[in-house]
Structure formats: structure tokens, C-alpha cells
Amino acid sequence: MTPEQRVVDLRPRTILRVLLIVLAVAGVLEVIWIARHVLVWVVIALFLALALDPLVGWLQRRTRLGRGLAIGLAYLLLLIVIVGAGATFAPKLVNEVNGFVQALPDYVHDVTHGRGRLGFLETKYHVVEKVRKQVKDGGATKVLGLSGAALSVTKSVITIIAATVTIVFLTFFMLLEGGAWMERFYGLLPERSQPRWRRVGHDIYKTVGGYVTGNILISLIAGVSATVVLLIMGVPYAVALGLLVAILDLIPLAGAMVAGVVVVLVAFLHSVPAGIIVAIFVITYQQLENHFLQPVIYGRTVQLSPLVVLISVLVGAELAGVLGALAAIPVAGAIQVVVRDQLAHRRTGVLSAPIAGGVARPAQTE
């Protein structure tokens, strides 16, 4: 006997609907790709708004000002802090950068002649000969491409200025109108489910906001402590290196490790004792940050296992680079809040579901 053959007959309307869905998804992805830089600005502004919102709320309660005036006052306080920090550290930072630039010819001379702490680059790896070969092979191309490089740098500077101004205004309007937009979103939901989703939104706000403010605070602690240790050991460019540590420490997992390697290498170039002390400090501080600072500062805002943190950071970095790595943990925390609420909602529905005969099912002990 021949087996029966099932014939699936797809109606033209179904095929057309599938094609329209595919085209719509492709169009959305294309728009996202074209506007990816703007979306990055929006994400940065969102994180800044979450970080500033507690300060704005505190100012509102203390001063009885309106929302807009409280945001303006928060901006003013932040500007004062930035200007004060710049006036304190900028001269030192400029002097250190100038000193490093002036020391570069000596480093190059030592490498060329195989002397000094960097002389091994020439004696063992023949770096100078390799660089000369690259310059000889591609020198003309580099010279001809100079104008293109200058144009690229100019465009980058203009883009950075435009991004900064745009992010400042986006953050302001998110702080000003964010609550109203969330209320509009809750108003679109069924009335009986609004309390549940308000609770979910509040938990997500606490999770993301707590992570953002905590990450900034931990990075400041890392940068200041590294600067103090480097200054005590007499390592040059201590302030610049401390700033580098603070910036890289914002990146979960990999950032602190990269910053530690750079700082230890510079310290060893200064002196072996300084390198050993700085290496001990980096290892000790990483243990302190991972096992004390992060649990205390984050508290109960982001409850993620180390495996979830690692996977989320790797996926975020692969999708969106450094920004993806920064956003990975709060996004994973927000997803965890939604999943936990969904599981709790389903469990409640199962426990309270009626059985045959109209009698309520008794609650099960867990």
C-alpha cells in the first residue's frame, strides 16, 4: 500500500501576508542599521537619565521646585562638578601628556639602538626594521591618503560635538517627559493589569538605575585609588593612567583587566619595585571590587549569576561593541524582572484556577 500523501494548500492571502511580514521585518532592520548611530545616542541618554533621575527627585523633594527647574539645577550641579574636576586635574593631565610626548623621542632612540627597558623590542623582535619596511612599502599610499585622514578626523570631531549636544538635550527631555510617557503606556493596558505592569516597570527602573549609578561610583573609586597608588610609587602619568582606569572600569569584566595590564606595564617601565607594588594593588583591588564593592553598591538591584553576566556581556559586545557590553547587564537584569513576573503570574494563575464542579483548587505548598 502506498502511504497517503498530504497536500498542503496555501491560500494566496496567507502567502501575501507572510511576504508582507518578511518585508516589514527587513524594512525595520534596515532602518535600525541606518539609524544605528542615533540609536546609540538614545541609549546613552537613557542611561544618563536613569543615573540623574534620583538626584532630580531628591532636588524636587528638598527644594519644592518643578520638574523642569529641578532638572536644570541638577545639570548646573553636574556642570560645576565637571568644571571643578577639570580645573583640578586638567593642568596635571596636560603636563603629563606633554611630558609623555616629549619623552617619546628618547623611547624611540632607545628602541632603535636596543637600549633601555624597551630595547628588547629591537634586539629580539627587530621592530625598527619591520616598521621601516612597512613605511617603505606603503609610504606613498600613506602620503596620498593624508588628506582623506584629515577629512576623517574633522568629521569625527564634528560628530562628537553633535553627539554630545544631542545627548544632553535627549537626557533633559527624557528626565522631563519620561514619567508622562510611561503613564501613557500604562494607560493603553487593560485596567486590571495596570498595577502589575507598574510594579514591573518600577522594578526595572530600580534594576537599571541602580546598576548605572553603582557602575559609575565603582569606576570613580577604581580611578582615584589607582591614581593615589601610582602617585605614591612615583610612576609618571599617574593622573592620566587613573583616568584610563576609571573609563575602562565602566566596561564589565574585560575593562578592569585591560586597565590593570596597562597600568602594571607602565609601572614596570618606571621601575621593577613600582611594577611589583602596582601589580599587587591591581590584584588586591580586583578581589575587593568583585567581592565587596559590587555586592554592597549594587545591593539587591541586579541579581544575576556570574554565568549570566559573562554570557550577556559577550553577546552585548559582539552585537554593539563597547556600548553593548555596557548595556548588557542592565538589559539582562530587566529581562530577568519580566521573566520572574511572568513566572509568578502563571504560578498564581495555576494555584487559583477552578477545577471541575466550580470548587477552587487549593494552594500548593512549595
- Per-residue model confidence as pLDDT tens digits over 16-65: 888 899 999 999 888 888 888 888 888 888 888 887 888 888 899 888 88
Domain boundary among 188, 210, 226: 188
CA nearest 283: which of 307, 304, 256? 256
Alpha carbons 175 and 72: distance in angstroms, whole number: 10
259 in a domain, yes or no?
A: yes
Judge if 114 and 140 occupy the same domain.
Answer: yes
Judge if 287 and 330 occupy the same domain.
Answer: yes
Domain boundary among 188, 209, 235: 188
What residue numbers bound the domain in which 199 lies? Answer: 193-346
Alpha carbons 148 and 155: distance in angstroms, whole number: 11
Judge if 55 and 178 occupy the same domain.
Answer: yes
13 in a domain, yes or no?
A: no
Judge if 140 and 251 occupy the same domain.
Answer: no
Judge if 116 and 177 occupy the same domain.
Answer: yes
Alpha carbons 264 and 33: distance in angstroms, whole number: 39
Query: From the CB of residue 213, how many other CB atoms can be counted at a distance below 10 Å?
Result: 20
160 in a domain, yes or no?
A: yes
Confidence of residue 269 (pLDDT cuts 50, 70, 90): confident
Instruction: Concatenate the DSSP letters of all residues of 287-310 into one string.
Output: HHIIIIIHHHHHTTS----HHHHH
- Residue 263, C-beta contacts closer than 8 angstroms, at least 6 positions apart: 226, 230, 241, 244, 245, 278, 282
Which of 126 and 282 is assigned the larger pLDDT? 282
pLDDT above 70 as % of the chain: 71
CA nearest 257: which of 265, 269, 247, 249? 249
92 in a domain, yes or no?
A: yes
φ/ψ of residue 354, rounded to 5: -75, 150
Judge if 144 and 265 occupy the same domain.
Answer: no
119 in a domain, yes or no?
A: yes
pLDDT of residue 98: 65
Locate 208 and state its grid cell. 537599571
pLDDT of residue 279: 93
Which of 140 and 114 is assigned the larger pLDDT? 114
Judge if 326 and 271 occupy the same domain.
Answer: yes
Which of 75 and 110 is assigned the larger pLDDT? 75
Judge if 182 and 277 occupy the same domain.
Answer: no
Burial 3-17 (b: 16+ CB within 10 A, else e): eeeeeeeeeeeeeee
R_g (Cα) of the chain, nearest Å = 28
φ/ψ of residue 64, rounded to 5: 60, 25
Confidence of residue 146 (pLDDT cuts 50, 70, 90): very low
Confidence of residue 278 (pLDDT cuts 50, 70, 90): very high
pLDDT of residue 153: 60
Output the CA–CA distances (angstroms, integers) from residue 1 to 4, 5, 6, 7, 302, in the order listed: 9, 12, 15, 18, 63
Judge if 222 and 316 occupy the same domain.
Answer: yes
pTM of the model: 0.64
Alpha carbons 329 and 334: distance in angstroms, whole number: 9
12: pLDDT strictly greater than 80: no
Summarize the confidence of residues 225-234 as an average pLDDT.
Answer: 91
Confidence of residue 140 (pLDDT cuts 50, 70, 90): very low
Judge if 231 and 269 occupy the same domain.
Answer: yes
15: pLDDT strictly greater than 70: yes
pLDDT of residue 201: 87
Which of 179 and 354 is assigned the larger pLDDT? 179
321 in a domain, yes or no?
A: yes
Locate 323 and state its grid cell. 556600548
Which of 320 and 53 is assigned the larger pLDDT? 53
Alpha carbons 254 and 275: distance in angstroms, whole number: 21
Domain boundary among 168, 188, 208: 188
Judge if 162 and 241 occupy the same domain.
Answer: no
Output the CA–CA distances (angstroms, integers) from residue 3 to 6, 8, 366, in the order listed: 10, 16, 50
Judge if 326 and 197 occupy the same domain.
Answer: yes
Locate 259 and state its grid cell. 586597565
If one counts the domains in the chain, the total is: 2
Mean pLDDT check: name the lowest of 49-53, 227-231, 290-294, 327-331: 290-294
Query: From the CB of residue 295, how many other CB atoms can be counted at a distance below 10 Å?
Result: 10
Mean pLDDT check: name the lowest of 116-125, 191-200, 351-360: 351-360
Length of the chain: 366
